[in-house]
Amino acid sequence: MPLLNTLARLEAVRSGRARPLATVRHRHLSGRPLVLVPLTTSGEAGAPLGALVGTDRHDPCLLVIPQPRDRDLRWEFLAELARQVMPYIDAYADDVEPAERTETDPETGKRVKVETELCVDAPQLIVPSRAGVEYVRLLGRSMRFRRTAEEDPENPYPVPTQVPLLGRWFTHLAERSRVPGSALLLSATELLARHWATGQSSVEDQHLGALLAWIAPPGGENGPGTGAEAALRAELARDRDGQLLVPPAGPATDPAFDNKLLAPAMARYDAARAADDRDAADRAGRTLRELVEGQLRPTWDAVWRSLDLLRALPAGERTGERWTRDRWSYTAHRDRVRAGEPPQPRRDDAVTAAQKLATRETEQVRLDAQEALDDPLVMAGRRLAGEAFAGEVTEVVMEWSESARPRPRPLVTVVTEDRPQLADGAAAKVFRSLDGRPQAAEFVRFEGAGGIVLRLLDKMGSGREPAPGTVPEKGDRLCWTLFEHDARGGPKLPDPEQTPWTHGGPPGSATAALPLPDPVTDGDIL
Amino acid sequence: MTAFDPGAAAAQATAAILHDTLHGTDRGVVVDSPPGAGKSTLVVRAARELAAAGRRLMIVAQTNAQVDDLVLRLHEKDPGLKVGRLHSSEGDAYDPALRELPSVTLSAKPGDLTELPVTVSTAAKWAYVKDAEPWEHAIVDEAYQMRSDALLAVAGLFERALFVGDPGQLDPFSVVGAEQWAGLSYDPSASAVSTLLAHNPGLPQHRLPVSWRLPASAAPLVSRAFYPYSRFRSGTGPGERRLSYGVASDGSGPDRVLDEAAESGWGLLELPARHAPRTDPEAVAAVALVVRRALDRGAVTQDEHPGGPTPLTADRIAVGTAHRDQAAAVRTALAGLGVTGVTVDTANRLQGREYDLTVVLHPLSGRPDATAFHLETGRLCVLASRHRHACVIVARAGIAALLDDHPSTEPVQLGVTVKFPDGWEAMMSTWDFWSDHRIPWRP
């Protein structure tokens, strides 16, 4: 953990209130996000119990499965979820703008610009916590390979039309959420924890109620207690019946709720169904809906409160650029679905896995740089770590390169109190933001107390004299970074059909490692 | 039982490797090399023999420094051999000394080098070479430090390959999570060798049996702690390497630990137990003082090579740390003591390098916890195996208790080969051993 974040946590412990970790908002927030609060059934993987979903904080759609172990009811639930979510996701598909993309021409092998289209906005799904993101992934995995009656008339258990489609989109969103800085699928706890430091551990920060209590304790500044006390209450306080006052943000439920309330209600529902007593079953079903809603509603409100807190921060300058990448991601998946491509495979092949890893590493580097450039508080952490320095220009000496056409290479002396990780005799490049674009300089030497001599290398125009405004002047205050401001993508990998022998050859070839079914377990075919 | 002849054992291993490489039928040959076992020598020799056999050869190394070093070694052994050095288009990407070598062609364009018998570059640069006529043979150096995805990007360029590396050093890593692929044979964040062997389990695997770098005092510990299933020996016997000082000890902690290290090959300077920030000022000062005293006391080294004792100069001393900020703090402290020319770097950057005396800031010193990063086997292995004569470890007391409090908690992933020994075990066994060479800090 960076030293400044440790300090912020210590200050939070002392004051009982969360401390800011950022002065701007580092993730794009949609004007109309879709909030999804799912609950799952204990003891059975991938059996949803209920959900609140919707774009209107005052009018969520409540979905409840009265008996989650009944698979017919489960698929009805997922079909209803698809009816709620798919129109939202599809709503962004047709509003497009022209764009350009570089592609490798299959005939010449050259990189060429291709006219294409880009969706002007993209859907954004917000779940309460990290576990919620994993649950979206799990639901996607359980839905995307199912077949509808139209696709496979022979299938004895067809699913409603939009269910496999929702599975593919959930899978896409969950996969995209692994890309650092992406914003198609976000969790409220991670968003809050990125922007505020609390006095509790990062594991405890995954409790949305407790996290919110640290950041915005009930009653505000003049409330009855500190955030720390409120957080403890959110985590532990129970009513006379032993139920948590703040239900967990899910998808897991509280065992006391399961045992004392849910299990008896479900038993009544099962008994009514077994006795074919429709009225009793309806009554039991309504009770179950109320119970589940009671668990979901506080989390639903907490997610929207989190979004309020985050919207109060101004958006970081470069979040828009990252959102554009999300729009590309959305557009590309839209195209794959429209082209009738099969659902995402169970496992990535060697080339896809390597490509994804490369993308995520590039995006991580880009995110680290962009957050620092967008936010002086983040930059302060990098300065403290010796990865950047800020100071005043005390001297500028014009020099030129030695060549037939001399180019400006001015020497700039910056006096700083920071201690960047530069060493005399060791070549190093530093960068500053010049109208949003990075200008590079090389480190020349230390001079005097806190003086750092740099030689500017680029962005000074093409002439002998530097273009106006491109060379800093005496008295300017500048911040230089030892890291680059943008990240370069890696080399192009071979096509999957060209997977080399070291990696098992092309998928499906004799040498490729096929995941064989477990010979002992009957029916291990997934 | 006949006495172990290190030279003969090493020659026998090398002959078998070269035979499989030049005359074998398999597409790949894997060579495990413990620290200082002559890996570079093997690479140079294999390269020359492959070139002599008329096989167009590409060599893949991991860093520009390694590439430059290989080119220089090739030139030294065979000044007539035409070698291409493929470098990135940024001007300062290679050692300027290469420009002086007439047999070496430097270029940023692979097309300029395709006709040469040997072309050397980094994996990162090779990955940009497209549509080239495949090379008949490749040598992949430091293959255990190469990531699987980096091999994926270059493996289409060659027909067959010799993979050489040290399995005990640092595993490649990723700055983002890659758990979703754990257990897949081609996990892109795994090492190139593990992917290669998962898909080609029948490839011949060899091992270099002798460390020429490590002294007789160090090889048994490093072998036992880090290579329990592929033991190796030192090339020199007890007493063949000697470290001594012109000036007697002043009785201080640094002097006594230097004496202990000269005597036994290892010395542990133990500071009082305390939780400290990563750049623990006292530990950093102690490291710097040990280096300063080693130079002040006129240390001389004597080894198996003919010639008298050699003075131990600053460039033959290295300080190893776990973190970059620790290295920076040590550099500052050394500069404060007026010491220049000593290499101070992290384990990652010290890989493959060799010094006479090393001073190591123990990765767990002063820590309240033991994370997977600090427990990584390879990190400690690199730090403990850079020296030809002696190694001084600087640490705060309490590491054994810290280890007891932090058993390994890494999740077990299905399908992932468990690495032995795990970092915890290696930490514990080395700590046990070093405790016998413990000198309490006394300024």
Q: Exposed/middle/buried for A121, CB within 10 Å: 0-12, 13-18, 19+?
A: middle
- A493 contacts B123 by C-beta, under 8 angstroms: no
Nearest to B142 by CA among B224, B23, B214, B42: B42
CA dist A453 → A174, A384, A439, B80 (Å): 47, 20, 15, 44
With an 8 Å Cβ cutoff, are B181 and A353 in contact? Answer: yes
Residue range B393-441, pLDDT digits in tens: 999 999 999 999 888 777 777 777 777 678 888 999 999 999 999 999 8
Note the pTM of the prediction, 2 decimals.
0.90
- Pair of tokens at residue A298: 């506080």
With an 8 Å Cβ cutoff, are B199 and A365 in contact? Answer: no
Nearest to B27 by CA among B239, B248, B204: B204
Q: Which of residues 43-72 of B touch A (CB under 8 A)?
A: none
CB-CB: which of A357, A421, A423 is closest to B174?
A357
CB-CB: which of A353, A357, A502 is closest to B151?
A502
Contacts A518 to B, Cβ<8 Å: none
Sequence length of chain A is 526
CB-CB: which of B176, B180, B196 is closest to A361?
B176
Interchain CB contact of B179 with A (< 8 Å): no
- Pair of tokens at residue A306: 């989190």
Residue of chain B whose alpha carbon sits nearest to that of A498: B156
Interchain CB contact of B325 with A (< 8 Å): yes
State chain B's maximal CA–CA distance in angstroms.
Answer: 66
Strand partners of residue B85: B106, B120
Q: Please name the residues in contact with B60: beta carbons below 8 A apart, sequence gap of 6 or more.
A: B121, B122, B123, B126, B138, B139, B140, B141, B146, B154
**Dihedral pair phi/psi, residue A393, rounded to 5°:** -75, 125
Residue of chain B whose alpha carbon sits nearest to that of A181: B176
- Pair of tokens at residue A371: 């957050």
Q: Enumerate domains of chain A plus CATH numbers.
A: 3-344 (no CATH), 374-481 (2.40.30)
Interchain CB contact of A149 with B (< 8 Å): no
Å between B307 CA and nearest CA of chain A: 34
Å between B322 CA and nearest CA of chain A: 16
Strand partners of residue B165: B32
Residue of chain A whose alpha carbon sits nearest to that of B193: A502
Chain A interface, best mutation among B88, B149, B340, by max A CB count within 10 A: B149
Interchain CB contact of A365 with B (< 8 Å): yes
State chain A's maximal CA–CA distance in angstroms.
Answer: 97
Residue of chain B whose alpha carbon sits nearest to that of A387: B325
Contacts B110 to A, Cβ<8 Å: none
Interchain CB contact of B155 with A (< 8 Å): yes
pLDDT along chain A (526 residues), means of 10: 86 93 96 96 90 95 94 92 96 92 74 88 96 95 89 84 93 96 96 95 92 87 77 90 90 93 94 93 94 95 96 95 95 94 90 94 95 95 92 93 87 93 83 91 90 92 87 93 88 88 80 54 52
Question: Which residues in chain B come in under a pLDDT of 70?
Answer: 1-2, 91-92, 420, 443
Interchain CB contact of B205 with A (< 8 Å): no
CA A313 to chain centre: 18
Contacts B324 to A, Cβ<8 Å: 421
Q: Please name the residues in contact with B218: beta carbons below 8 A apart, sequence gap of 6 or more.
A: B234, B265, B266, B384, B385, B387, B391
Rounded CA-CA distance B193/A351 in Å is 17
At A398, the amino acid letter reads M
Interchain CB contact of A492 with B (< 8 Å): yes
Interchain CB contact of A369 with B (< 8 Å): no
Residue of chain B whose alpha carbon sits nearest to that of A386: B325
- B142 contacts B7 by C-beta, under 8 angstroms: no
Tokens 């059909």 locate to A497
Give the per-residue pLDDT at A364: 95
- B142 contacts B61 by C-beta, under 8 angstroms: yes
Sequence length of chain B is 443
Nearest to B295 by CA among B239, B236, B356: B356
- Pair of tokens at residue A229: 């006390």
Residue of chain B whose alpha carbon sits nearest to that of A494: B153
Tokens 């008295």 locate to A475
- B182 contacts B188 by C-beta, under 8 angstroms: no
CB-CB: which of A178, A347, A365 is closest to B184?
A347
How many A-B residue pairs are in contact by the CB < 8 A criterion?
99
With an 8 Å Cβ cutoff, are A503 and B148 in contact? Answer: yes
Interchain CB contact of A156 with B (< 8 Å): no
Interchain CB contact of B331 with A (< 8 Å): yes
Interchain CB contact of B305 with A (< 8 Å): no
Interchain CB contact of A6 with B (< 8 Å): no
Å between A237 CA and nearest CA of chain B: 31
- Three-state SS string across A52-97, please? EEECCCCCCEEEECCCCCCHHHHHHHHHHHHHHHHHHHHCCCCCEE
Residue of chain A whose alpha carbon sits nearest to that of B126: A491
Give the per-residue pLDDT at A474: 92
Start-to-end CA span in chain B (Å): 49
Residue range B259-295, pLDDT digits in tens: 999 999 999 999 999 999 888 999 999 999 999 999 9
Interchain CB contact of A507 with B (< 8 Å): no
Interchain CB contact of B344 with A (< 8 Å): no
> For residues B6-32, b (16+ Cβ closer than 10 Å) or e, as one string?
beebbeebbebbbebbbebeeebbbbb
Strand partners of residue B320: B345, B360
What CA dihedral angle connects A369, A372, A374 and A378, to 10 degrees? 160
Residue of chain B whose alpha carbon sits nearest to that of A108: B131
With an 8 Å Cβ cutoff, are A361 and B153 in contact? Answer: no
Q: Where are the alpha helices (DSSP H) in B301-395?
A: 324-336, 347-350, 372-375, 377-383
- A115 contacts A100 by C-beta, under 8 angstroms: yes
- Pair of tokens at residue B339: 């010491």
Rounded CA-CA distance B267/B260 in Å is 5
Interchain CB contact of A499 with B (< 8 Å): yes
With an 8 Å Cβ cutoff, are A357 and B328 in contact? Answer: no
Contacts B175 to A, Cβ<8 Å: 361, 364-365
Interchain CB contact of B176 with A (< 8 Å): yes
With an 8 Å Cβ cutoff, are A354 and B151 in contact? Answer: no
CB-CB: which of B124, B161, B199 is closest to A511?
B199
Contacts A386 to B, Cβ<8 Å: 325, 328
CB-CB: which of B124, B199, B324 is closest to A503?
B199
Contacts A354 to B, Cβ<8 Å: 148-149, 152-153, 186, 188
Rounded CA-CA distance B198/B182 in Å is 13
Q: Please name the residues in contact with B212: beta carbons below 8 A apart, sequence gap of 6 or more.
A: B6, B36, B37, B38, B234, B235, B236
- Pair of tokens at residue A266: 């479900």
CA dist B232 → A365, B89, B219 (Å): 40, 41, 7
Interchain CB contact of A353 with B (< 8 Å): yes
Interchain CB contact of B27 with A (< 8 Å): yes
Nearest to B46 by CA among B121, B139, B117: B139
With an 8 Å Cβ cutoff, are B175 and A364 in contact? Answer: yes
CB-CB: which of A360, A493, A511 is closest to B152?
A493
Rounded CA-CA distance A70/A261 in Å is 19
Contacts B131 to A, Cβ<8 Å: 109
CB-CB: which of A347, A364, A511 is closest to B176?
A364
Chain B interface, best mutation among A387, A418, A483, A502, by max B CB count within 10 A: A502
Give the per-residue pLDDT at B1: 43
**Dihedral pair phi/psi, residue B105, rounded to 5°:** -105, 125
Rounded CA-CA distance B434/B270 in Å is 10
Strand partners of residue A99: A116
- Pair of tokens at residue B243: 């470290």
Give the per-residue pLDDT at B95: 83
